Amino acid sequence: MKQALSMAGIALATVFGAPPEAQAQNYPSRVVRVVIPWPAGGSNDVVGRMVMQKLSETLGQQFVVDNRGGASGSIGADVVAKAAPDGYTIMVHSTTHVGNAHIYGKKLAYDTMKDFTGVGMLSAQPGVLTVHPSLPVKTTREFIALAKSRPGQINYSSSGNGSAPHLQMALLISMSGINIVHVPYKGGAPQVTALMAGETQASFATVGTVIHHIRNGKLRPLGLGSTKPSKALPGVPTIAASGVPGYDMSPWIGVFAPAGTPKPVIDKLNSEINKALALPDVVKNLENQALDPSPSTVDQFNATLKADYEKYGKLIKLTGAKVE
């Protein structure tokens, strides 16, 4: 009788699921959906597609990108928060993810820190204060002086309320005392298109998103939001060294999974992502996009999430940034 019960238990275990370790060994056994909560063309999309293509090759299953733009990434994030925590729905998102928690608050249909787990970081994406060539400024100091002489007359674009470009400019506004008007768009690509068309006069954007437009003279860089210079923009100083001492905002792009996804699956994804980030062609392609490969452990990435959650909360409270 006991033997029969034991055999029945084994059969049930086989039917209803193997232990997490066994799940990780067999993972992935089918297509993995990769939600990128931004339109195609922005840094999240470029980096996500590049790395996920490598995972498709090394793991033998397709990692299929699903762009779900809107509401600063919160629409796509909601899809992932509600997905089964089995590793077959993951997300490529940016620092904006933690900012949204404070920008939208209870309007979000999910809990940023409880409904997701960090898988690993993909890249750092330094931002640069950029202007349309028609604006008569060549440095951050000149931009601040012009904005002070024209309060409320200069518009700036961002990739959405609560996005990194929004908060980068909000911090500059707070630290410099200027008054300029925010015009949010649904993603990095539309944001830059608006700037190039002259719909807005200024914007923070990732270096990778605007580098080609800067090189061909269609946009003008003024200052870097990070504390370090960019190899892609030699000669462009940091904002901190250009009249706003202490300025520092360095966004990142990372991979997330729904909370409750088995740790062995998370660890396997993290390992494969880090391997992909070390491949010479990936490193070269990221650097060509002015992005820094930034592999991390699962614990390191989740520690960064927690620290930036606190940092962005303080910044948003300080600047009064909110959904408009």
Domain membership of residue 138 (yes or no) is yes
The structure's pTM equals 0.76
With 0-12 CB in 10 A as exposed, 13-18 as middle and 19+ as buried, what is 64?
Answer: exposed
Examine the domain organization and report whether 45 and 102 are in the same domain: yes
The letter for the amino acid at 299 is D
| Distance of alpha carbon 231 from alpha carbon 239, whole angstroms | 16
Per the structure block, which two tokens stand in for 237?
């100083």
Q: Tokens standing for 224?
A: 């870097």
Cis status of the peptide bond prior to 28, with omega within 30 of 0: yes
In a domain, 110, yes or no: yes
Q: Which two tokens stand for residue 99?
A: 């900012």
Tokens for 141, please give them: 């100091």
* Structural domain that includes position 188: 127-224
Under 8 Å CB-to-CB from 252, ≥6 apart: which residues?
94, 95, 121, 122, 123, 124, 125, 294, 304
* pLDDT tens, N- to C-terminus, the chain (324 residues): 444 444 444 444 444 455 666 667 899 999 999 999 998 988 899 899 999 999 999 999 999 999 999 888 999 999 999 999 999 999 999 998 998 999 888 899 999 999 999 999 999 888 999 999 999 999 999 999 999 999 999 999 998 877 788 889 988 998 999 999 999 998 888 999 999 999 999 999 988 889 999 999 999 999 999 888 888 898 999 999 999 999 988 889 999 999 999 999 999 999 999 999 999 999 999 888 788 899 999 999 999 999 899 988 987 887 676 665
pLDDT confidence of residue 2: 45
The predicted structure's pLDDT at residue 86: 97
> What DSSP line would sit under 135-187, residue for residue?
SS-SSHHHHHHHHHHSTTT-EEEESSTTSHHHHHHHHHHHHHT---EEEE-SS
From edge to edge, which strands make up the β-sheet containing 116-124? 63-67, 32-36, 89-94, 252-258, 116-124, 292-293
CATH code, 188: 3.40.190.10
Same domain, residue pair 133 and 213: yes
> Same domain, yes or no, for 118 and 260?
yes
| Number of domains observed in the structure of the chain | 2
Residue pair 158/171 in contact by the 8 Å Cβ criterion: no
The answer to whether position 234 is within a domain reads no
Bridge partner residues of 89 (DSSP): 33
| Residues 133 and 113 reside in one and the same domain | no
Residues 204, 259 within the same domain: no
Residue 3 lies in a domain: no
CATH number reported for the structural domain that contains residue 309 in this entry: 3.40.190.150
pLDDT on residue 20: 60
CA nearest to 42, candidates 185, 139, 222: 185
Q: Report yes or no on 238 lying in a domain.
A: no
Structural domain includes residue 25 = no
**Which of 161, 189, 224 delimits the end of a domain?**
224
- 14 lies in a domain? no
Q: Which of 249, 20, 252, 254 is nearest to 116 (CA)?
A: 254
Q: Is residue 244 part of a domain?
A: no
DSSP percent split of the chain into helix, strand, coil, nearest 5 = 45, 20, 35
